[in-house]
Chains A and B, each alone.
Chain A
Amino acid sequence: MQSKDNKNSSFILFHQSINFFFDGVKYKGFKGDTIASALIRNNINFVGRSFKYHRPRGIYTCGIEEPNALVQIISEYGEPNTRATIKEIYEGMEVESQNRWPSLDYDFGSINSLLSPLFTAGFYNKTFMRPRGFWKKVYEPIIRKAAGLGKPPQPYRTKSTHFHHHVDVAIVGGGLSALLALKSFIGSEYQVLLIEKDSNLGGILNNSNKISKIFGKESSLWLKETLEEISTSSNIKILTNTLVTNYNYINHLIAIEDLVVGTKPLENIPDQVLHKIRADQVILANGHIERLISFRNNDLPGVMLASSFEKYIERYGVIPDVNPVIFSNNSSTLSLLKTLVDLSCKPQAYIDSRPGNKLEKDLLNVIHENNIPLFTNAKIEGCQGKKKIEEVSVRDSKGNITKIKTNKLCISGGLNPDVHLFTQSKGVLIWDDQYLTFKPDTPFQNTIVIGSAGGIFNYGDLGKDIDKKLKFLNLKQLGKIEFDLIESNDFFIEKLWEVKHEKKSPWSKSFIDLQNDVTTNDLRQGIKEGFDRIEHLKRFTTNSMGTDQGKISSINALGIVSEILKKKISEVGTTIYRPPYAPLSFSSIAGRNTYEFYDPERKTPIHEWHKKNGAVFEDVGQWKRPWYFESKPDESFEEAVQRESLHVRKYAGVLDGSTLGKIEIKGRDALEFMNLIYTNSFSKMKPMTARYALMLKEDGMVMDDGIVSKISNEHFIATTTTGGAANVLSHMEEFAQTEWPHLNVYLNSVTEQFCTFNISGPNSRSILKKVFKDINFDNQNFPFMTFGNYKYIDSKINILRASFTGEIGYEIYVSPSMALALWEDLFRFGEDHGLIAYGTETMHLLRAEKGYIIVGQDTDGSVTPYDLGLEWMIGKNKEDFIGKRSLSRPDTIRNDRKQLVGVIPTDKKNIIEEGQHIILSRNYKPPIKMLGHVTSSYMSPNLNHSFGMAVIQDGKKLINSKAYISSSKGESFEVEIIKPIFFDKNNERLMS
């Protein structure tokens, strides 16, 4: 039969029609409709294909618990797995069904249904194992094509934002019990935040007909008055359209708010808000969820949970079918029956698994008054139909089968308190024998659970229970609340998890997890194969592992398992519900922290000059550094680097080294501290001199290097690598505070206080002489590794004679405000001397020609100073420094450690590639012994051939011998192993 509008519903604006598209076909709904309610209004029930077998699936529920009706919103970046039961329609919305190809009606993948014996429990682990090699070539491509939920969305820039709340009380849920609790907070001293996932408050009052009057008033009137009363209280804040997804430690809640309910998201306007809530007290009032019953083909479109059916009538103004069949095992279906009858819709039959003499009087009265066919002590055994239910089979207590023609079957297998958030908070559950379900028992945090979420299903107890639980807050008491109910006061449920199959065919399946296509037989098979622990069985069968986490079926699975194992359900236990409660998109988590806001970009004061002069930048940590400079538009990376490298050694070049980390060390005990932190000894060092220094971790491995300048025994400045600055400072802080708190020493990052220019090359001295006319740069007066304080215009500067290129060179430290002026001055005076700006790649090439290491490129956290040939940097006479003792550990004094060497090709035409392996024979076939690998390699314009640095086993002993090196061409070639220094081996240029 057909659906019918229920114009009594006040939530749907029937005068405002909305056009939307489902799989390309235009339909009409009304303002307030969800995709699901609008489709039901149009008699569309078949909305998707299942995950594994591609069976036809329909709308099963009316809320967040929906396992089947997942759709893709084409008009919004193709967001997949959107619950049709939640998402409201808007004009022109485009919706597509999922898991079908080429179309919903003719789906190629439904062939999986015929292959279903292949897809039983554990199929991922077993079926595709043999024959060997088939996985990669045959199975995986097929599964990738067929499996999965929806397609990934298009890339887009999220406009969501984050919002932090700190409140005394957070109430999760906005239904009847939440509103009752909220009433008692009116005018109190507590700051209260209430979070409701629906756009309307009231829950069960809006979704069903169960409560007709409260204190003698129509329940809708009571709700209206209550909301007005609450709105006058300034201590209460309410978020609607907001779903709490996580309940973390120390009452930290994460909730996602939808700002575009019923409208298309607009450009540049936030569509979602991620709320981060910290509360002293959390009150969970998030209600309950109805569960299913498993029977043959319980997945056919047309099967729907009974309370959802009722919610469509009351909340969404559509009767999904005017003559459904109802199948229940408990008292909760009375209100649905009554609602239908009041709307002159006569159910085709009412089937109750409970014996006739135990049925509620009210229920029997409605049935008899309206001549509804009643089957007691009976069960739906199965249903038949192709893409929808056409007929259901009822089996009575004697085993007789009655067939009833219908398109809609409402089922109720009982009610579960929604315990997800409570278990996320690490609270412990207890089994309830009356309601046959788990309910919250002992909380771990400051958590109170009220209403049906707490297992209180009897409305008469509601007020008393809330008063008791909130007593410690000294609020107004609610007292007894008078309800007029269409609901039995004595809830009675008969245990029924699954109905036995009457007939067997490959297509007949009884599902326990609709989203993951897990059948009750899969559970049996899993247990038979030894997975008798519930957590193991879950992973083996994938039961309750879908995005709905088995919200309508997980208790049923426990029931079935407990019967197979002949254990109590409380002994079987439940799997742990994991956050999030429902999927939230990555875009909401990412918020505004995307693209240029993903990570700060740090630029030096010379950045704009670099840009104007053809710099191509590379990222070093957060810094943008010139990688190389294009001297003409079509110059390639290789050409530029070769040109810069030649030029610096011939004339002069300047590098913007402002990104280098700089740390100031001050205090009475600064000298002692420095001696402990670095391998070098600074005691005999003269003031105003500098030293190349090495820092180890306590395990003896090289951590960082840099230049330490000594101003006095109480004042040092240390440079660090660009990427290591933050680490080195926190390493120093840690030891200063925790191991040597008795030392008087203060550390300060001064990286941004100075810009650093590294000028080097044979002409650098004459250039500086022109820029700083009063400074004597002669070798005797300004030797290598000394520095001085000078003035540039009005600003203090520092010049240090040091070099990372092997040429004569100076580092100039200048305040950022004067940096660009000085940089431009350098070029004005340097023009005649051939000064160029060079980038990091040329710096790397030039330092490698000299065999200078880069920490993090030539080292990897497993390299000692000895491995690098840096013995000379170790203060032998020092009693102690970080890492010293580890340099005599059995592992660090091993003979066969990997050590740094240089490699050059015997045939100079060959090119050494970074990362290639050093081996001992020309012809190789894996596996082969590998001595080590190339850590740095470059084409040297100064040597006119390729060269590399490598760490290889026993490297020092192999110096002056020959070995082979692999290449990306698949052939090896011969290399000479030499000391890791390739250019100006006697440092004549450096000292000149």
Chain B
Amino acid sequence: MLIINCPYCGPRDQCEFTNGGEAHVTRPKNPENISDQMWAEYVFFRSNPKGIYYERWVHSHGCKKWFNSVRDTSTDEIIKVYKIIDKKPLPKEFKNKIKTPSGEPKVGSGNFTVKK
């Protein structure tokens, strides 16, 4: 079970939170004026990277506040949490942590058990 650092309450067990999927997927301003394709991108399509991932959580059994986080999906490490109104941190803030589609760290991904 993860420990998630709610920006309003502090670190709490994961079981108090609900995951809200990818963060920074903004609802289009003028839905009527955009193409089906663009609307579908907003409604249905989410990225699923190995490595840096921006995602939303809600402290559903706590303060009920939504907030954003940055998690390394290959190790489950939560690198940063920030409020909804805060600016999206740039990927370069987390340098050397971005993985290519097939790359992953030598320790922590659970895919390697033995040092070669």
A interface residues, Cβ below 8 angstroms from B: 248-250, 252, 278, 423, 426-431, 438, 441-444, 570-571, 573-576, 698-699, 730, 733-734, 737-739, 741, 879-880, 884-886, 889-890
Contacts and interface: CB of A to CB of B under 8 A. Distances in A.
Nearest to B26: A739
15 contacts: A252-B1, A428-B114, A431-B114, A442-B107, A444-B75, A570-B116, A574-B114, A734-B58, A738-B56, A738-B66, A739-B27, A741-B84, A741-B85, A880-B31, A884-B32
Contacts of A738: 20, 56, 66, 84
B40 to A, nearest CB: 7
B4 to A, nearest CB: 10
A889 B36 contact: yes
Contacts of B43: 698-699, 886
A890 B35 CA distance: 11
B80 interface: no
Contacts of A884: 31-32
Contacts of A733: 58, 64, 66
Contact of B32 (A441, A443, A879): A879
A737 B66 contact: yes
B3 interface: yes
A991 B116 CA distance: 80
Given A442-B115, A737-B84, A428 B32 contact: no
Interface of B: 1-3, 18, 20, 26-28, 31-32, 34, 36, 39-40, 42-44, 56, 58, 60, 64-66, 75-76, 84-85, 106-110, 112-116
A164 to B, nearest CB: 9
Contacts of A252: 1
7 closest cross-chain pairs (CB), A and B: A885-B31, A444-B108, A430-B115, A737-B66, A573-B114, A444-B107, A739-B27
Given A250-B3, A442-B106, A741-B84, A428 B20 contact: no
A886 B32 CA distance: 9
Contacts of A426: 75, 107-110
Contacts of A429: 113-115
Q: Which of B42, B60, B109, B114 has the most CB of A within 10 A?
A: B114
Contacts of A423: 113
A879 B18 CA distance: 31
Contacts of B106: 428, 442
Nearest to B116: A570
A885 B36 CA distance: 9
B115 A428 contact: yes
Contacts of B42: 698
Nearest to B1: A252
Given A734-B58, A879-B32, A428 B1 contact: no
A570 B115 contact: yes
Nearest to A700: B43
A438 B64 contact: no
Nearest to A251: B3
B3 to A, nearest CB: 5
Given A426-B75, A880-B32, 15 more contacts: A426-B107, A430-B114, A442-B106, A576-B110, A698-B43, A730-B18, A737-B65, A738-B66, A741-B84, A741-B85, A884-B31, A885-B32, A885-B34, A889-B39, A890-B36
Contacts of B110: 426, 576
Nearest to A570: B114
Contacts of B60: 730
A441 B107 CA distance: 10
Contacts of B44: 699
A249 B73 CA distance: 13
A430 B114 CA distance: 6
B107 A428 contact: yes
Contacts of B3: 250, 278
A738 B116 CA distance: 46
B1 A249 contact: yes
A791 B108 CA distance: 65
Nearest to A568: B116
A575 B114 CA distance: 9
A574 B66 contact: no
A249 B113 contact: no
A889 to B, nearest CB: 6
Nearest to B108: A444
A886 B39 contact: yes
Nearest to A574: B113
A423 B113 CA distance: 7
B57 to A, nearest CB: 11
A646 to B, nearest CB: 45
Nearest to B20: A734
Nearest to B4: A250
Contacts of B20: 734, 738
A445 to B, nearest CB: 8
A370 B115 CA distance: 45
Contacts of B107: 426-428, 442-444
A885 B115 CA distance: 53
Contacts of A698: 27, 42-43
Given A428-B113, A441-B115, A730 B1 contact: no
A880 B66 CA distance: 23
Given A427-B107, A428-B106, A738-B56, A438 B114 contact: yes
A422 to B, nearest CB: 10
B25 to A, nearest CB: 10
Nearest to A733: B64
Contact of B66 (A431, A570, A734): A734
A917 B43 CA distance: 32
B76 A249 contact: yes
Contacts of A570: 114-116
Contacts of A885: 28, 31-32, 34, 39
Nearest to B112: A428
A428 B85 CA distance: 39
Nearest to B39: A885
B49 to A, nearest CB: 19
Contact of B2 (A250, A427, A575, A880): A250
A38 B26 CA distance: 69
Nearest to B76: A249
A739 B110 CA distance: 36
Contacts of A741: 84-85
A252 B110 CA distance: 16
Contacts of B32: 879-880, 884-885
Nearest to B38: A885
A738 B27 CA distance: 10
Contacts of B116: 570-571
Contacts of B115: 428-430, 441-442, 570
Nearest to B29: A880
A576 B26 CA distance: 40
Contacts of A890: 36
A640 to B, nearest CB: 40
A248 B109 CA distance: 13
